[in-house]
Amino acid sequence: MSSEGARKPVAELSEEELEQILAARAEQEGKDVLELAKSLGPDSACPVCGNKALDKKSVHAALRPFVARDTLVCDTCEFTSGPPPNALGKYLLVPLTAGGFLYAGMQLIFTAQRLTEERGQMMTFVQGFALFGVGLFVWYSGMGAANPKQRRQRILKYRRAWEDEQAGVAAPDTTSLLGENLEAVVVAIILALIIRHFVMEAFVIPTGSMAPTLLGDHFDLECERCKHPFPIAKREYELTQGETETHATATCPVCDYTFERDLTRADMRSGHKILVNKFIYRFRPPRRYEVVVFKFPNTPWRNYIKRLVGLPGETITVRNGDVFANGERARKPDHVIDSIWIPVHDAAWRRTGGEPRWDVVAEDLRPAWQFGKDGAEDLDGAWMRCDPAQAKLPAGQETAWVGYQHRKMHAAYAYNREDSARGPITGDLRVRARVTPEAGAVVRLGILETTRLYDEENNSQRDEERLVAARFEAGQGEATYAIEANGEVVAQVKGPALTPGLPHELTLAYADDRARLQLDGETLLAWDDPFGPVEQTYDVQVRLGAAKAPAVFEQLRIDRDVYYVPSRSNAQYDPSIQAIEIPQRSYFVMGDNSPNSEDGRSWGFVREGHMIGRAFLVFWPPTPEHLRLIR
């Protein structure tokens, strides 16, 4: 507003000019009061009524090491300013105290979700929200006292009430510090309940039906031979009724070693805590392969979590561990498969003894391969009893293949312990290696899948092999990257060649009959195989190959896709046995841990109205190996 307008008599000012003057005064007053709030201390005059220096009110002796000053009180206008925390209080006492109450409240809320008795569930919920509210109150009161902007708001509120009282307009309308914080806490809890009901909600995973994607109550173990860490399920009856110890037999998913272990409560870990988006399905329908939370059809007051595999109106079958919808293979999106790979082999986890893991495929090429850091040429020597750190192929015009020989590619679920150490053979694999090529090298990663076919008419059988491979070239300038099927190029793309002498991470992923060639984590080429095996896989071998120039292979890793097996329980709706027709406005779900999952194969379909939402985040435990988005 212009200075000319400011000099006008009030009666001559327009409504807009009055509003501008009042806004400017309020802004200036806010700045002035903020400075008072920052410098407020025992020697300060009351910022509300301007009275003499504020009186001090001592805090409790236990809190004195954590506060910067005493509580300040004005006897004239009854203004009170609580003690702000010092650095020790702000960064230690308040976060630890508030965090402790918040954590205890969340734990009780999660515990209530797992209770089936209605009264006990309600009481536990109430206790959890009460502790959660106390945690919010401690946070608001502690951090609010340390925030000059919140002190400014408090001063302004008291100042308005004091001015009104002096003018005889009304009694002071002020609220105590306790009341102000309780108000904030109540609002926060109400907002939390609204968000929980309509937007998102936290759930706890009690069982292992979605393992290893989502873990229920479990034990974390380390293989006694190769030191690979992995979880196993805690069974419902274990460590109950005062038991202090339980005995478990486990099989390592990487080296296949079976060992026994005595476990106590200290070894037990609770299930993953997840967040569920509850409003997304108000705007779009659920999509195949999303992880969904829903009301269990037989007992709608209980919540279940599974992966959605069948959509309304479809006919679902499962063949060779893969899902087919209306006769067509229902491929998982790439981001879903990349989130659920299960380790089969990892050279990072070393072992000694046992059978050899890798061997040369063709006897006439046996002298070409060198293994180990010292390049040992004796292929039957000591290196065969361990996992080689390196495998090197000298120059040669023909591709020399080395194959993984340690064991068959079983779809085993180590999480299920000794009762599921084996499973059907799967060809849905990913092979990765850190490769350092020399100039001119042609590197291949391959997956050889064998299907045994039976001729009922002639009462005979024959094996049919299919080798899908990814080809990489090293050199200068541009190179051709290709996917090959039985030696024939089926897809290719041009790109910068591998840099000779530098390591690259090469990957071939082949799952749901979709092959992907990846270089340093980026997908360069993908191909949907129209002729992939449909019959049960009889055998699978992972191969590494090189030609024309030496290449060093390191950090060899093999992973597999989830494999849907027939249900162990009632098979009335099992798509592995018969085609299942999904009604309209209904969905079909299965667990990633299909050998140990009570899902749609046993009880049928999930109606549209029973869908709660999509699981999208594991937020507890907050560690790098657990904290992640759910795909």
- Digit-coded pLDDT (tens) for 281-321: 989 999 999 999 999 988 888 889 999 999 999 999 999 99
109 and 193 belong to one structural domain: yes
Q: Each residue of 243-258: pLDDT tens digit?
A: 788 888 898 888 888 8
Q: Is residue 144 part of a domain?
A: yes
Residue recorded with tokens 């790098």: 624
Contact 540, 408 (CB under 8 A): yes
Q: Which two tokens stand for residue 515?
A: 């092959």
Band (pLDDT 50/70/90 cuts) for residue 626 is confident
Check residues 621 and 222 and name the one with the higher pLDDT.
Answer: 222
Question: What is the radius of gyration, based on Cα positions, of the chain?
Answer: 34
CB 579, CB 317: distance < 8 Å: yes
Q: Is 376 in the same domain as 511? A: yes
Res. 215: pLDDT tops 80: yes
Three-state DSSP class for residue 387: coil
Residue 565 DSSP code: P
Q: Is residue 621 part of a domain?
A: yes
Say what the pLDDT of residue 387 is. Answer: 47
Q: Report residue 197's pLDDT band, with 50, 70 and 90 as the boundaries.
A: low
User: How far does Cα 198 stand from its chain's mean position?
Assistant: 22
Q: SS3 letters for 24-62?
A: HHHHHHHHHHHHHHHHCCCCCECCCCCCCECEEECCCCC
pLDDT of residue 396: 58
**Confidence tier at 397 by pLDDT (50, 70, 90):** low
Predicted local distance difference test score (pLDDT) of residue 237: 81
Whether the Cβ atoms of residue 525 and residue 414 lie closer than 8 Å to each other: no
Most confident of 10-14, 264-268, 396-400: 264-268
Looking at the structure, tell me whether residues 360 and 490 fall in a common domain.
yes
Q: What is the mean pLDDT of residues 348-362?
A: 64
Q: How many CB atoms lie within 10 A of CB 236?
A: 10
Half-sphere exposure of 408 (CA within 13 A, CB side): 14
Rounded Cα distance, 460 and 451, in Å: 14
Look at the block and give the residue holding tokens 């004091």: 162
AA identity, residue 571: A
Q: What's the CATH code of the domain at 501?
A: 2.60.120.560
Of the two residues 10 and 428, the one the predictor is more confident about is: 428
What confidence score (pLDDT) does residue 490 get?
96
Q: Is the pLDDT of residue 190 over 70?
A: no
According to DSSP, residue 621 is labeled S
Backbone dihedral angles phi then psi of residue 30, each to the nearest 5 degrees: -60, -40
DSSP single-letter state for residue 476: S
Structure letter (DSSP) for residue 512: T
Residue 112 confidence class, pLDDT cut points 50, 70, 90: confident
Segment 33-45 shows an average pLDDT of: 78
Given a cut of 90, is residue 627 above it in pLDDT? no
pLDDT in tens, 525-560: 999 998 877 778 888 999 988 888 888 888 889 999
Strand 315-319 versus strand 580-581 pairing type: antiparallel
Residues 354, 223 share a domain:
no
Kindly state whether residue 52 falls inside one of the protein's structural domains. no
Q: Identify whether the C-beta of residue 422 lies closer than 8 Å to the C-beta of residue 389.
A: no
The rounded distance, in Å, linking the Cα atoms of 536 and 529 is 17
Range of the domain at 145: 85-198
What confidence tier does 199 reach under pLDDT thresholds 50, 70, 90? low
- Which residues, listed in sequence order, are joined to residue 67 by a DSSP beta bridge? 85
| Average pLDDT estimate for 479-501 | 95
Q: Produce one character per residue of 137-173: b if its CB has 16 or more CB atoms within 10 Å, e if not.
A: bbbbbbbbbbebebbbbbbbbbbebbeebeeeeeebe
- Strand 200-204, strand 537-547: pairing: unpaired
Picking from 340, 330, 334, 337, the residue whose alpha carbon sits closest to that of residue 526 is 334
pLDDT digits (tens, 9 = 90+) for 146-183: 777 777 877 888 887 887 777 776 544 455 555 555 66
Q: How many residues does the chain have?
A: 631
**Of 534, 560, 586, which one is at a domain's C-terminal end?**
560
3-state secondary structure of 446: strand
Rounded to 5°, the CA angle 131-133-137 comes to 115
**78 has pLDDT over 60:** yes
Q: Cβ distance 436 to 554 under 8 Å?
A: yes
Least confident of 198-207, 341-350, 446-455: 198-207
Burial of 530 (0-12, 13-18, 19+ CB in 10 A): exposed
Identify whether residues 355 and 502 lie together within a single domain.
yes
Specify the amino acid at residue 253: P
pLDDT of residue 151: 78
pLDDT digits (tens, 9 = 90+) for 556-609: 899 999 999 888 776 789 999 999 999 999 999 999 999 889 899 999 999 999
**pLDDT of res. 327:** 92
Are 120 and 127 in contact by the 8 Å Cβ rule? The answer is no
Task: Assign 533 to helix, strand or coil.
Answer: coil
Residue 40 placed within a domain = no
Whether residue 525 is contained in a domain is answered as yes
Distance CA 387, CA 358 (A): 8
**Do 550 and 460 share a structural domain?**
yes
Q: At what angle do helices 148-166 and 118-145 cross, to 10 degrees?
A: 80
Max CA distance (Å), the chain: 112
State the chain's mean pLDDT as an integer.
82
Looking from the CA of 442 toward its CB, the CA atoms found within 13 Å total: 16
Task: Look at residues 542, 560, 578 and tell me which one is the last residue of a structural domain.
Answer: 560
pLDDT for residue 367: 46
Q: What is the pLDDT of residue 377?
A: 41
At 191, phi and psi to the nearest 5? -60, -40
The CATH number of residue 315's host domain is 2.10.109.10
Tell whether 170 is covered by a domain.
yes
* Inside any domain, residue 500: yes
Give the 3-state DSSP-derived string for 63-127, with helices as H, strands as E and coil as C. Answer: CHHHECCCEEECCCCCCEECCCECHHHHHHHHHHHHHHHHHHHHHHHHHHHCCCCHHHHHHHHHH
**First-last CA distance in the chain:** 56
Same domain, residue pair 236 and 280 = no
The pLDDT of residue 239: 81
Residue 111: C-alpha distances to residues 298, 299, 559 (Å): 22, 19, 34
Quick one: what percent of the chain has pLDDT higher than 70? 83
The predicted structure's pLDDT at residue 381: 34
In this prediction, residue 379 has a pLDDT band, given cuts at 50, 70 and 90, of: very low
Phi, psi angles (nearest 5°) of residue 207: -125, 175
How many domains in the chain? 5
Around 599, how many Cα atoms within 13 Å sit in the side-chain half-sphere? Answer: 30
Looking at the structure, tell me whether residues 333 and 416 fall in a common domain.
Answer: no
What is the value of pTM for the model shown?
0.75
Token pair in block for residue 457: 């008419």
In 215-350, at which residue ranges do the beta strands (DSSP E only) sit?
Answer: 218-222, 229-233, 245-251, 258-264, 268-269, 273-277, 291-295, 303-310, 315-319, 322-325, 328-329, 342-346
Cβ contacts of 458 within 8 Å, gap of 6 or more: none
Q: Check if the beta carbon of residue 243 is closer than 8 Å to that of residue 256.
A: no
Q: Identify whether 419 is part of a domain.
A: yes
Specify the residue for token string 């329908």: 285
pLDDT of residue 172: 46
399/521 same-domain check? yes
Say which amino acid occupies 56.
K
How far does CA 153 lie from the centroid of its chain? 41
Give the single-character DSSP code of 386.
B
495 pLDDT tier (thresholds 50, 70, 90): very high
Question: Pairing state of beta strands 586-590 and 488-496?
Answer: unpaired
Angle at 575 between CA 573 and CA 578, to 5 degrees: 85
Co-location of 382 and 515 in the same domain: yes
Asked if 507 and 522 count as a contact pair (C-beta separation under 8 A), the reply is no
Say if residue 294 is in the same domain as residue 334.
yes
Specify whether the backbone of 465 is left (phi greater than 0), alpha (psi in -120 to 50) or beta.
beta
318 and 365 belong to one structural domain: no
Token code pair at residue 374: 């010292």
| pLDDT score of 433 | 92
Q: What is the mean pLDDT of residues 486-510?
A: 95
